[in-house]
Structure 1
Amino acid sequence: MTTTHTAPPTAPELPAHRDANVLRWLAAYTASMTGDSVYYIALSWAAVQAGSPAQAGVVMAVSALPRALLMLGGGVIADRLGPRRVVIASDAVRCAAVLAVAGLLFLTSPGLWPLAVLALVFGTVDAVFMPAVGALPARVTSRGQLARVQGMRGLGIRFASVVGGPLGGLAVALGGAAAAFTFAGLLIAVSVPLLVAVRIRELPADGKGSGGTAWRDLKGGLAYIRRHRVLAPLMLAIAFGDLGFVGPLNVGLTLLAEERGWGASGMGWVLAGFGVGAGTASLLLTVRGRLPHAGQVAAYAILAGSVAIGSLAYVPSVLAAVGVALLVGLLAGLSGALCVALLQTQADSAYLGRVTAVSGLVSLGFAPLSMPLSAAAIGTWGTGPVFVVSAMVCGLGGVVALGAGNLRRAELPA
């Protein structure tokens, strides 16, 4: 008699929002981002108190330069050492730097120089931290859950932005900048033991570079993106989308509110509408986990979002502007999360840190350059034409995504 051995059925994949390992990562990420929000409130308050508004502006901008210059190198470090190790070390350094400045402020009034040093340290560490943070989700969940994880990450970002500002303001009101820095450092510190407890999935080439020099790793990563049939057009789509989005939704919205007489409260309501829309998109991905035809959906969301951006300058009232901003947030949140999920699923794990670094450089290094250009253009031509041109630039991202067949047909793994 022949005995037939039947393989045991494969256990169903645990959804990310019910996976304790993913939830530990999410708690660590949210605590760190909330600490960041409190830190920026504390830094801006301390800088204004210690110097002139112009000097405070310089202090706030100090971190941008090292972050932009060093981020590509940070991607190489994340790929060589592994993203969790880099994130833990980065959070530990950021926590120590913030608490050191808090202690200094408790003991004396040292002026602007320690704040400038802290901003410089933060920007330098961010250049390593951000690529590693972007590469980490692929190590804590399966490929089929990455879209859901991006939705959860978006919810964490929204929570940090909504809660961090009031918490930072309350800490400043109760104990000054020193207390706010202390609170920020403690929030960042919470992430470290949580990240240590996170289990990491072993991926091919995890934590390994090409075996050559860092420079060779960097060139290899850039060449890999340039040759990739999905990643290359996806980077271009992200670049156009962010360039057309950042100016109007930052500087442009402030000038639009002033021009229309909406005041600070009106602008706040418009920003709240955007936040609700972006949060809804994150919640949708968290619940659904996967959207079919991800490349097409991202492309059409960018195109529709660009139309909404252009129309924002022509709405007749604050209430209408809030509705349009909600739509912009929903579409931008959806396209952004899908683009990041496609980056993480299309990129080979050995290059994930460098791929994330390039996308981060596009979004955080190049796109903010549109803010002073938008402000100058609005001063010359007014809000309407500038919002329309920005919408056209943003829409080019959708055109690129639709025109690149491999990106248009790209799917997220089931």
Structure 2
Amino acid sequence: MRDLRTLFVTEPRARRLLAAHAQSSLGTGAAYVALLLVAYDRFHSPFAVSAILLCELAPAILLAPMLGAAADRWSPKVILVASDVLRCAAFVALALVGSFEATVAFAVLAGVGQAAFQPAVMASLPRLVERKSLPSMTGVYGAIQELGYTAGPVLAAAAFVLVEAPGLLLANGITFALSAVLLATIDFGRPATAEAGDGTAKPRLLAAVTDGARALRANRAAWTVVLSSTAFVCFLGAINVAELVLVRETLDGGPAHYSLVVAAMGLGIAGGSLFGARAQDGDAAGRQYLAGLALCGVSLLACAAVPSWPVALATFAMLGVGNGLALVAENVLIQHVVPDAVKGRVFGLKSALISTSFAVAYFGGGALVAVAGPRATFVGLGTGCLIVWVAARAVLVRTSAGRPAEVVPAPA
């Protein structure tokens, strides 16, 4: 707690970034519900919902590595503000257009903004705070995001009394505009490649992505975390399908019960994110990352055996704690061991791989639940997560992640 107080008292640039992030995360959480409702109303098909979900993932899968290279090359402020302006325009347009085709197009545009924002902001965090405050900053940033995603749908439910779904999309566009204004007041410094540049010509962005992948593979700890996280999400991401069927059909719960289970997991993720802020170096982050993976695996197995939805609240909250702990610990580890000049590219590559895993999980989870049922699905998901934990532990316990790798990344 002392580290969190120090962060808010002594880091004014961090306070502004977190304030921008808090209000936009609430808007995004509320708009997530509204956008799915708008898509379904305009096309009247479950495929409309799937298309909208893919609109968020596809830009990250295809563009995040290139956008991460851009974050290493150009001003973080320009990229972050431009991303928010792009998302503002996309959500205002989503509120105004009427056709499903236009809805998909502007949802893709919003996805591009998100794909550009994520690697840039994660690579920028070390420039905003002292090194000792970096774990706290990463943990608070993750916790705010999850709280926004948890509280946003509740806010949307209350707002639907007064406005329809397009009104919430418009409000979300306004939150991105406010975020852009706040971010424009922050000094993010120059990109690490600009600070260390020697005047030589920079490679094309695609070549820079390749150089970033090479630098990532040269760091055993970071490479292990990125690969294991990619595999881990293939299993964990499937609960987006399985938990709904478990609560509604196996446990005979209603919409309210399902909402409570989702909220319990979201609060667990926020709590785990804050706990993950305790890691003060790469080695500590590695241990917390492994603890998060193990807790997720055990929790998924426990979810398979829950007798009622009140018990499910506890098991899904525990699952959320493990997820939040792993999410923050992996980012803290990468920030500690990856050189500044290549951080954007590494986070961009990670984003692309994780988004691909979510796409696999969304489709594979539905097929698995249809064939095996929800309880057997959770057994399979939990077993898979524990296998990932065993494999990651075998590498990380023999690898020091205490300081940046001794590699010389190519310029972005």
Which band: TM-score by shorter chain? Answer: 0.7 to 0.9
1:52 maps to 2:44: yes
Q: 2:188 is paired with a residue of what secondary structure? A: coil
Instruction: Give SS of 1:197's match.
Output: coil
Letter in 1 for 2:268: G
Paired position in structure 1 for 2:309: 318
Relative to 1, partners in 2 of residues 1:371 and 1:270: Cα closer, same or farther, differing over 3 Å? same
Decide whether the 8 Å contact of 2:276 with 2:326 is kept in 1.
no
Range with greater deviation from structure 2 (162-171 or 217-226): 162-171
1:83-133, Cα deviation, whole Å (9 max, x unpaired): 33211111011112322443x35xxxx332321221121122222222212
CA deviation map 1:164-216 (0-9, x unaligned): 22333444542324422221111111111211122225563258898111121
Code of the aligned partner of 1:142: E
Q: Out of 48-57 and 331-340, give the one that drifted further.
A: 48-57
Compute the displacement of 1:394 (Å): 1.3
What residue in structure 2 maps to residue 187 of structure 1?
175
Q: Provide the rounded CA distance (Å) in 2 between the counterparts of 1:58 and 1:375.
A: 12
Following the alignment from structure 1 to structure 2, what is the Cα–Cα distance between the partners of residues 204 and 190?
A: 27
Distance 1:285 1:67, change over 3 A: closer
Cα 1:332–1:354, aligned 2, differ >3 Å: closer, same or farther? same
Using the size of structure 1 for normalisation, the TM-score is 0.87
Larger-gyration structure (1/2): 1
Partner residue, 2:410:
none
Q: What do the CA deviations read for 1:8-40 (whole angstroms, capped 9, x no partner)?
A: xxxx99932322211101111222222322333
The aligned counterpart of 2:162 is 174
Cα contact 2:73–2:191 (8 A) shared by 1:
no
1:271 corresponds in structure 2 to: 262
* Residue 365 (structure 1) aligned to one of 349, 353, 356: 356
Q: Does 1:33 align with 2:25?
A: yes
Contact 1:299-1:397 at 8 Å conserved across structures: no
Instruction: Using the TM superposition, give the Cα deviation of residue 382 of structure 1 relative to its aligned residue in structure 2, in angstroms.
Output: 2.4
Shift of 1:411: 4.2
CA 1:233 to 1:42, structure 2 compared with 1: closer, same or farther past 3 Å? same
Contact 2:120–2:344, Cα closer than 8 Å, also in 1: yes
User: SS at the partner of 1:175?
Assistant: coil
In structure 2, which of residues 199, 209, 216 is the aligned counterpart of residue 225 of structure 1? 216
1:85 is the counterpart of 2:83: no
Output the CA distance in 2 between the equivalents of 1:228 and 1:45: 44
2:241 to 237, 240, 251: 251
Q: Corresponding residue for 1:135?
A: 123
For residues 407 and 136 of structure 1, the distance between their equivalents in structure 2, rounded to whole angstroms, comes to 29
In terms of mean alpha carbon deviation, does 160-169 or 344-353 score higher?
160-169
Alignment of structure 1 residues 2-401 onto 2, 5 Å: 15-18=6-9, 19-54=11-46, 56-57=48-49, 59-63=51-55, 64-102=57-95, 104-105=96-97, 110-201=98-189, 204-206=192-194, 211-247=202-238, 249-257=239-247, 258-285=249-276, 288=278, 290=280, 293-401=284-392
Write the distance in 2 (CA, Å) between the matches of 1:153 and 1:127: 17
| SS of aligned partner of 2:237 | helix
What is residue 8 of structure 1 aligned with on the other side?
none
Identity %: 24
Normalised to the residue count of structure 2, the TM-score between the two structures is: 0.87
For structure 1, the residue ranges without an aligned partner over 5 or more in a row are 1-11
| Contact 1:62 1:123 (C-alpha < 8 Å) held by counterparts | no
Question: 1:56: Cα distance to partner?
Answer: 2.8
- For residues 355 and 330 of structure 1, the distance between their equivalents in structure 2, rounded to whole angstroms, comes to 25
150-159 or 263-272: bigger deviation = 263-272
Cα-Cα RMSD: 2.7
Residue type of the partner of 2:20? A
Per the alignment, do residues 273 and 40 of structure 1 end up closer, same or farther by CA in structure 2, a change over 3 Å counting?
A: closer
Structure 2 residue ranges without an equivalent (≥5): 405-412
Verify the 8 A CA contact 1:236 1:400 in the aligned structure 2.
Answer: no
